[in-house]
Amino acid sequence: MPNILAALTLNQRLALLAFLLGLGALAATPTTGERLTVDARQMAWLAANGSSRVPARTLADWIVQGRADYQLVDVRSADAFAAGPRIPSAENIPLTVLFDAGLGRDQTIVLVGEDEAAAAQAWFLLQAAGYRGAAIVDGGLAAWRDQVLYPRVDGVDAAERAKLEAVSAHFGGAPRIGGGADPPVAAPASGLAQASPAVPKLPAAGAKKPSPAKKREGC
Amino acid sequence: MSEKPASRDPAPYSNPYLAGIGLGLVLLAAFVVVGRGLGASGAVSAAVTAGLHAVAPDHAHSLEWLSGRLAGDERPLKDWLVFEGLGVFLGALVSGLLARRAFVTVEKGPRVSTRARLAGAFAGGALMAIGAAFAGGCTSGQALTGGALLNLGSWAFMLMVFAGAYAVAASMRWQWR
Amino acid sequence: MMAPLLKYGVFGSETSLVFAFLIGLGFGFALERAGFGSARKLVSQFYLNDLAVFKVMFTAIVTAMLGVTYLSWVGVLNLSLVYLVPTFILPQIVGGLVLGAGFVVGGYCPGTALAATATGRLDAVVYGLGLYAGTFLFAELYPVFKPLHTATPMGPITIPQYFGLPYGVVVFAVVLMAIGGFAGAGWVEKTMASRRGTDAAAIAATRE
């Protein structure tokens, strides 16, 4: 055997090596990242840790300030997203295509869905796959409606109330007084996508949030 | 017989298979480290965008094909391919100096004038820029990168590049032979 | 699973620019080593005298392809995170033909032109100016080109996916094709050389 190998030129040896590697590759199954390994204790700790929940009012402030260092993702199906109330600036990435969307593993991703449970499912999958910046809106769309769009302002001091009013007007809502009452039914159904022009003191009204710099990866 | 100082002549080229393995490993490094392949034509469009933006920014924004590079607060020259291109320049320079193959000259065949060759170079560059723009890449980005990843469109592109070149080769003999 | 490192957050996109430079260094070095800083050597491919372009390109493709296959097989590389240029089959075919034609006219491709510029080839510099002109022209006339440019989208798709073949089978087939192609290339070079006389054949043999 060594004699045969010795008799080959360099190029022939390279060809033989390539052939053997190619033969081996016949059995190969490339990993496309579908199988996840979950560290149970770490996940439990993350879930119990409050840092993966973003209060609705904090998110509202981020939107008003025009911050571009996070991405708001709505994981409902395209139909549900089109039909139902939405948080402005949310990008619709249905859960089924969440892993094909090119989200960054070190990016802050705020999730909202049909309800909190749906958002939590997406959160778990993303965290398990290594997207350490995933978080959910605390209380989901319901909290958005109750705390941002139609915040209760009874018993709140004047400065706080003015701020709540400004934020809610920014999103097309209005504050309410009184406990237990449901928010006005005449609410704009498709959520709140325009900034109200009557609130000049809030910055970024009408300014589009610059899209998170999409890295160009082509040639 | 007079003695020629052989060490001053340009070194012979490397074994193409070894050079190819080296190139393949560089490409593999790009996949593993950054999750993308090599490229070149993208750096050219980044430079064109930057140049236009400096001279006529509104016009640059109005060009649909390039305006994506100006979105948000992106700087068109802060592009992976631009930095890669700087490296290509330096790497080639080092290799050329080591092999004594770096000298100012015009590459052309024996029967053509320099002016004609330069005209051919310009025309060829313009043609390839358009071809690369349609295809979304050039031989580095599409053929090499897409080839290694078994990209369907890239393989089709690669075959067509060879076909197109062979088809036109005879009519370009005047430049090279 | 750790790679691609950038996508797993090992470093940020700013650092990736440093890697771009380093990778470019290797790219440029390898190109010049292979002799691709010379238009005449590049173009010799298409006159069947020196098939180095074919040999280098396909060796590189096979090397990287095998590397990707094995690394992703053992779970080190997550292949789905490596960017795959989406296929637009019609403009890629047309673009390929145009690029190929331009190759023999211009004598370089964008990457090799950069390498050649570094080693002093003035025609590569002029070629580069042509690249800029062509790119500018494409951008200005984009409304005319757009229908073709965006025609027949197929998304990011690989040959195994399209033909429904196992990935490893396609890899093996490519390796076989390459080895066969290299043997054929050697034969073509020798044949062409012997047509040009025995002196030329001796030179070609020492190049292998």
> What ipTM goes with this model?
0.90
- pLDDT tens digits, residue range B116-170? 999 999 999 999 999 999 999 999 889 999 999 999 999 999 999 999 999 999 8
User: pLDDT confidence of A187, banded at 50, 70, 90?
Assistant: very low
Query: Mean of the pLDDT values across residues B65-88?
Result: 86
Neighbours of chain C (3+ CB pairs under 8 A): A, B
The residue ranking higher by pLDDT, A59 or A184, is A59
**Mean pLDDT of chain A, nearest integer:** 77
Q: Is 80 exceeded by the pLDDT of residue B7? A: no
User: pLDDT confidence of A23, banded at 50, 70, 90?
Assistant: very high
Strands ordered across the beta sheet of A108-112:
A53-55, A134-138, A108-112, A70-74, A91-92
Closest approach of chain A CAs to the CA of C70, in angstroms? 7
Is C206 touching A (CB cutoff 8 A)?
A: no
The confidence score (pLDDT) of residue C7 equals 77
Q: List, in order, residues 6 or more apart from C103 with CB less than 8 Å away.
A: B124, B128, B161, B164, B165, C42, C43, C46, C109
The confidence score (pLDDT) of residue B160 equals 96
Q: Is C153 left (phi over 0), alpha (psi -120 to 50) or beta?
A: beta
Q: Is 50 exceeded by the pLDDT of residue A47? A: yes
Degrees, nearest 5: CA angle C124-C128-C134: 140
Q: Which residues of chain C have pLDDT under 50?
A: none
**Diameter over CA atoms, chain B:** 69
How far apart are the C-alpha atoms of A170 and A206, rounded to whole Å? 10
C50: three-class secondary structure by DSSP: coil
The confidence score (pLDDT) of residue C171 equals 95
pLDDT above 70: percentage of residues in chain A: 77
Query: Mean of the pLDDT values across residues A149-156?
Result: 83
The residue ranking higher by pLDDT, B54 or A185, is B54
Q: Is 60 exceeded by the pLDDT of residue A185? A: no
Q: Is 90 exceeded by the pLDDT of residue A178? A: no
> Are C103 and C46 spatial neighbours (Cβ–Cβ below 8 Å)?
yes
What are the distances in angstroms from CA C13 to CA A213, A215, C79?
Answer: 11, 9, 19
pLDDT winner (highest mean) among A5-9, A36-40, A178-182: A36-40
Q: Provide the whole-model pTM.
A: 0.74
Degrees, nearest 5: CA angle A14-A16-A21: 95
Token pair in block for residue C30: 């390898």
How far apart are the C-alpha atoms of B55 and B58, rounded to whole Å? 9
Contacts of B166 in chain C (CB under 8 A): 46, 100
Q: Is 50 exceeded by the pLDDT of residue A213? A: no
Over its C-alpha atoms, chain B yields an Rg (Å, rounded) of 19
pLDDT above 90: percentage of residues in chain B: 59
What are the distances in angstroms from CA A36 to CA A94, A95, A127, B48, C130?
Answer: 20, 16, 10, 43, 49
How far apart are the C-alpha atoms of C179 and C183, rounded to whole Å? 6
Contacts of C206 in chain A (CB under 8 A): none
- pLDDT tens digits, residue range C78-120? 888 888 999 999 999 999 999 999 999 999 999 999 999 999 9
Q: Is 80 exceeded by the pLDDT of residue A76? A: yes
B137:A11 CB<8 A:
no
Q: Is 60 exceeded by the pLDDT of residue A214? A: no
The confidence score (pLDDT) of residue C102 equals 95
Closest approach of chain C CAs to the CA of B9, in angstroms? 15
A134: three-class secondary structure by DSSP: strand
How far apart are the C-alpha atoms of B139 and A109, rounded to whole Å? 36
